[in-house]
Structure 1
Amino acid sequence: MEELLQAIGNYGFPMVIAGYLLVRMEPVIRDLQRSVTLLTMVVARQSDIDVEHLKKIVDGKW
């Protein structure tokens, strides 16, 4: 608890809250990223787009 108060004193309340929220929200952000990627694949498959080409684009290897 003392370390938390020390961090608030040193870095300021907004920075501590932003760090806390980032740590708490990281798993949610990763799940959302997976969902968007999966939905992109589904739409591509329904639109007759080459899924392998799309994977390369998503991975940044195109």
Structure 2
Amino acid sequence: MYDEIVKLISNVGFPIAVSIYLLVKLDKRLEEIIIILSAMEHRERERRP
């Protein structure tokens, strides 16, 4: 994995490599947040008459 990171940095540059890393790491968390918000919206709709 370390070799892949070094190749990525040498090919596209440090800022782009960091951006890709952050997008990959945050993607899973964003999906979890979307699921939680959808569940909250569903509960709120059930509570309304």
The residue number in structure 2 matching 1:57 is none
Gaps of at least 5 residues in structure 1 are 49-62
Amino-acid identity (%): 21
Question: Based on CA coordinates, which of the two structures has the bigger radius of gyration?
Answer: 1
* AA at the equivalent of 2:15: P
Counterparts of 2:34 and 2:19 in 1: how far apart (Å)?
Answer: 20
Matches within 5 A, 1:1-62: 1-48=2-49
Larger relative contact order (CA 8 Å, sep ≥ 6): 2
Gaps of at least 5 residues in structure 2 are none
After TM superposition, the score normalised by the length of structure 2 is 0.74
After TM superposition, the score normalised by the length of structure 1 is 0.63
Q: Which has the higher helix share?
A: 2
Count of aligned pairs: 48
